[in-house]
Chains A and B, each alone.
Chain A
Amino acid sequence: MIIQKNIAQETQCYHCGDDLPNTPYVLDSKSFCCLGCKGVYQLLSNHNLGNYYAYNEVPGQTQKNSKSHFEYLDEAAIAANLVDYTDEKVSVITLYIPAIHCSSCIWLLEHLHQINPAIMQSRIDFLKKQVVITFKNQELSLRKVIEILASIGYEPLISLQDVVKKQQSDHSENHLIRKIAVAGFCFGNVMLLSFPDYFGLSALEQEFRTFFGWLNLAFAVPVVFYSGRDYFSSAWYNLKNGILNLDFPLALGIAVMFIRSIVEIVGNTGAGFVDTLCGLVFFLLIGKWMQQHTYHHLSFERDYRSYFPVAVTLIDDEKERPLPLNELKVGNRILIRSNEIIPADAILLKGEAEMDFSFVTGESLPVKKVLGEVVYAGGRQLKGAIELEVVKPVSQSYLTQLWNNEAFFGDKTMIRTFADRASKYFSIVLLSIAIGAALYWILQGETTKAVASFTAVLIIACPCALALSSPFTLSAVLSIFDKNKFYLKNTAVVEELARINTFVFDKTGTITNPENTGFSFDGHITEEEKQWVNDLARNSGHPLSRELVKWLNRPSKYTAVKYMEKVGRGISGVVNGQELKLGSASFLGLKMKTPTQGAAVHIIINNRYLGFFCSKQQWRAGFKDLIFKLGKEADLHLLSGDQDQDKQTLIPFFPRAQQMHFAQSPQNKLDYIRNLQASGRKVLMFGDGLNDAGALKQSDLGIAVTDNINNFSPGCDAILDGASFQKIPMFIKLAKDAVKVIHISFAISLTYNAIGLYFAVQGMLSPLIAAVLMPISTITIILFTSIAVRLYAKKNQLL
């Protein structure tokens, strides 16, 4: 077993599982892909933490591109902001570590005290990817703690926006669970005490009737005043604002049931409705809890602050010191090291800037900047350190000013759900039936019957099943979406999804696959010649060369000599004795008859023209099919931040050319969505980068498409894994079906209400009928909605 493992790992790094280079780093007869991985292994084995590799194979993360700087953590002000608790002896900090992914991670991070005894305790919350560390702050600084984590490959993400999900945020959910517990406790006991009455008590047992009645009443008190309190406050609040929502008849039902039970039990005239009351509140709260579906590992509220560092290195009188980002001012000179993010628009003063703007645009090809050029905030420096002068404050930069837009203030207009609209009419009809019945009996001269029928109508028509149909249907849909890697922010999004009639796509990163830019070769080339091209292009830093090397995907075999590069035009050199030239047509002195689509790399070997590699954007799998299906029923638009070189290839997909827009700024995108909405459309926006954040926020439904859901995605209503991109039409179909299911279950619960009302208006509703009807209707609804949603999901091939 062990031996087999070793053989399998000989081509892989022992730490991270990456392919080994030609000359791997070897230690203890284990091979590593880079010094970083070897360093982590060494550190762990020195501290007797070798078990890390026993629980999982290759548990580590590649250490090739790390090395961050944490000097800023020595600033007391910054550190104080980050820790949860500190006194003169210990500090506690909660950190978000994206790298946490397996049981080895848990094991290692909970044994940090073996690396440094000053760490007293570390506990992981795996689903939230968080670790809580308690450490002795006299012996160990916060910076040291973070550096220990970084040194073993678990660098925490520290950013301006709170990425740590504090326990406080769970408070409302905790409250709800306690209310459910109380309601469930009372419901169970009340049922136990009510059953004898259902079956009839013999004369001998009559003395128990009052005893049970009073006990029931005692159980009803916490149910009404603790568990059911929210319904009263919500109904009252809405009534004050002139809205009749479903909480109003619910609160009315609860109140009437409680009062009538008191009257009956105290006056010894009946058993009261306490069993129905407790059951009602219990089921309602469960429905509410189902609706509060949360994803521990996802956040839908992120903005640029999650991406930006907490501090930057300021250059002040030739000295470097860390500066909190919110103190950064125009005119400051900052130092950005390799792999750091530019926090504000700035002018490049020194160094070679090669920026990766994939956070901002989704475009993964790096961009080169020359001295004196403005570099926009959000770019990540790839090579070496650079110096810049800030020209705009952080919040006013090209990218970040988007968040000053009004779309970001206040919540999105509350999505109007079907239940909200229906409940208004329901309440009105219910009240008029109750009053009508009461009036009828008053006219007949029977006041007791009038009171009985009035209260009975309000009790029996209490829309419990109605209130449960939406939460149960929608949460069933949510869990099906969840299995298909489509994560919704809340249940209301499903109903919104069913109403969408206009789709807007971002191009780069959304409909194209950022991972795979493909090439096609036009002409004839042998494998050996490809090898030569590979070995020559390897030397160039030009994006196209890099992509080509990545696509050719082979190890280097020869070294290139006499290497020459004309920046941005082409390269030449001698590989294996062959003279190679790669580059643009003009560089090679060729006259092309037809311009190529996409960028072309022409190849000349030994003065013989072989042809050219043509780069083509790879659409996501199933894109063509998707567009065809969506296009039948809805309007499709394209908004791209890029220039229009891909316009020709996109025309088959977007037949109306005027609905394709290129070179759009983030603000343009937002405005475009707003214009569409002004013409009465329900807009769904697909985006991925921060530049889509405004459009995602403004649209009726913003969906962030990402290839790794653990990566950051901008604030949105839903997150879609790129692998499920082609399933979008099915998702929309299922959302529409779900709305249908809600409608049908409304009809079912109204039927139950009608049956109950038949007894109620005649003033002959017994507690037993109420106690039977309420649970039956509730269970029918729960069963119907979950089964119907699953059937529809099967039909739509989502299960």
Chain B
Amino acid sequence: MSPLGPLLLATLLFCVGIYGVIARRNAVLVLMSVELMLNAVNINLVAFSNLLFPEDAAVSGQIFALFIIGVAAAEVGVGLAIVFNMFRNRASVNVDDVDLMRW
């Protein structure tokens, strides 16, 4: 299998994630975009660990992916707590409303 496919898919997912973070107003959707980016990394790690380094007995790339999954869950948990707290105070999850401090 050519490594081009996973690489393209991961790049696409990553770019969609970045676009989502920049363009989306809804904080929950921003969080989901961040998740997309992290999963793009996971695809890279798992696919290339399998395709390029099959002789690596420790499957280090795939182990890394496991850690990313675990940490991503914690990150979304914290992120949602922050968004939820903001929602309780101003009944909005729009990230553009967050503009008290500017220079």
Our verdict on whether A and B bind, yes or no, reads no
**A binding-site residues for B, Cβ under 8 Å:** none
